[in-house]
Structure 1
Amino acid sequence: MSDEGRKDTSHFDHTIKLLLVGDSGVGKSSLLLRFCNDTFEELSPTIGVDFKLKYMDMAGKRLKLTVWDTAGQERFRTLTSAYYRGAQGIVYVYDITRRDTFEALAEVWSKEVEMYSTVDECVKIVIGNKVDKAKGGREEGWVTREEGETFARESGSLFLECSAKTKVSVREAFEELVKGVMETPSLMEETANKDSVKLGGFRAQKGPCC
């Protein structure tokens, strides 16, 4: 799989919509920035919704990914719920050092996906972010890898631990998610030859290409 050496963004075979969800402060925006631009910044919490474009080649197809980053704060839930529509891939993100953000995946975010997702066979991945902090071992109360794997298995999701800061497994996580979408015939049929990003009946303003 490659996204290098091809700058032509006028041609693509499929548009795939990915959505990042999770509590505020878990690093969703940093993961998005690392995946799209291969950079890292300490970012303020997202207000509302942000998104970036990412072009890549996989299995002989040119893909345009629209990757949406949603605010984790409860006051933005009504606003961001509309952005679940049409998402073929869902990225659950938690901070391995904050157990409450992991517990929120089952208590809040999986229920949100079930309530608002309009794609029956959407592919999901669970990302345990900030794994760089566990380099010297995990402190008591931190989320273990086994716990993350168990939740992913029970929710029918893929799983990886990542670090937006050191870029460990970030690219691999998104590649696995996109691969899962491409291996689901019904999803590939609906993503073929789409040239606009829509929210409900409205055309959304596009963010910068990357």
Structure 2
Amino acid sequence: MSFGVSIRSLVISGLDTPAKALLRTYVETLLLCVAVLHDRPLGLAYIAADTDAQIKDFWHSVVSPKKLHEKVISIERKIGLDNEIVEGMASWRREEYEILSQSSHLSYLAAALTSLSPELGDEDMFTTAIFGRATKNSHRTIFYAAATTWYFSRLSNQVLLGKDAAKCAILLDKENDWHQRMVAARDTLSHMMLKFWDTQPGDEQVKGIVPGD
């Protein structure tokens, strides 16, 4: 939650490149959450990694970016998403990951766009953004943050908050205020993402491919 709030604050402040750098960590964390919720042995391995060396080894050898994406793809297939959706989402994640990586390991182009960025609403015009300014890139950053949050909520829906204690991390209590908020937030985010899915910037092939609820 704090990562999402921080990304939102950075985007609103017009600090898009720092927001992207943080978004990479946020995305990896959400995908890891999806993976460990669907794979309990993996979750136990994550918990057991409690030294610097073990944590480093876990991230590099068990859930490296490539292996984590492969794990998510296997989960998508397991829960019954069709090949078009799986391939479209995988392509989209790869494209966005490359962009986010250039913000964490700053490329010359990313550095240049931090200083001079396409204006919001007029991408043919460039404006100074080094001290913070909302630009065309801001839309893409906040959209991918919201979309990844939504995708996590859908893929983890049954294994995070459910009715079978043997199959979920939290047993649903309809009288619990926090459980009610989680369900309301999930459904609200889902409604908004599905409504605005085709407005997303970036990979055209993903537009129109809407994973089902």
The question of a shared fold, defined as TM-score above 0.5 by the shorter chain, is answered with no
Q: Which has the larger radius of gyration?
A: 2
More helix by share: 2
Q: How does the TM-score come out when normalised to structure 2? A: 0.28
